[in-house]
Amino acid sequence: MSRDKLKQKLEELKEQTDISIGALDVTVSVADNDKASEQLDIVRTLQKKIIELEMEDKLSGAQTLYDSNTDKENSQETSAESPEESSSPIDATKHTLRQAQLGRELQELNKALAMKQELAQTMGQNDEKMTVMKMHYEVSFSLAVKMMFVK
């Protein structure tokens, strides 16, 4: 029950930070304030950590569910088999090693996905910054052209 409340609070915080980060991006890009940029980076880092914690929680929950289902299946198979038909310890070891390998691969894929999401977010932010810079350049250029024709 308390775990569900924590998850709900985490979701609320995540939604709030998404909104505030979007607003801060626009403000920081216009103001070009180094201190604000650093604080925004800290907030982004916290947001990434929240996402990582969520992923770890989902993985551990899935692993627990998988382990409990595997234990049930193993107990049912063992009770149904005679001692002569039971699997050897070598097969059980191979199965365990395979599960561990698949778990590691899943974690690596999740890390790669998180990195790609971070890259996409950074590229989007850079695109926004570039747009602001382009607008600033065009305004400056048009003012310079007007100043040349005025003289």
Count: domains in the chain: 1
Whether 86 maps to a domain, the answer reads no
CA dihedral 66, 67, 70, 75 (to 10 degrees): -150
- Looking at every residue in the chain, the average pLDDT score rounds to 77
| Token pair belonging to 92 | 């059980």
Whether 84 maps to a domain, the answer reads no
Range of the domain at 36: 2-79+92-150
Q: What is the DSSP string of the chain?
A: -HHHHHHHHHHHHHHHHHHHHHHHHHHHHHH--HHHHHHHHHHHHHHHHHHHHHHHHHHHHHHHHHHHHHHHHHHHHHHHS-TTTSPPHHHHHHHHHHHHHHHHHHHHHHHHHHHHHHHHHHHHHHHHHHHHHHHHHHHHHHHHHHHHHH-
Whether 17 maps to a domain, the answer reads yes
Whether 131 maps to a domain, the answer reads yes
For 9, phi then psi, to 5°, come to -60, -40
Over residues 48-89, the pLDDT tens digits come to: 777 777 777 767 766 776 676 666 666 655 554 444 444 578
Whether 108 maps to a domain, the answer reads yes
Of 30-34, 112-116, 127-131, 141-145, the one with minimum mean pLDDT is 30-34
Whether 141 maps to a domain, the answer reads yes
Task: Return the pLDDT at 19.
Answer: 59
Whether 74 maps to a domain, the answer reads yes
What are the C-alpha distances in Å from 121 to residues 127, 129, 144?
A: 10, 12, 35
Whether 14 maps to a domain, the answer reads yes
Asked if 86 contacts 76 with a C-beta cutoff of 8 angstroms, the reply is no
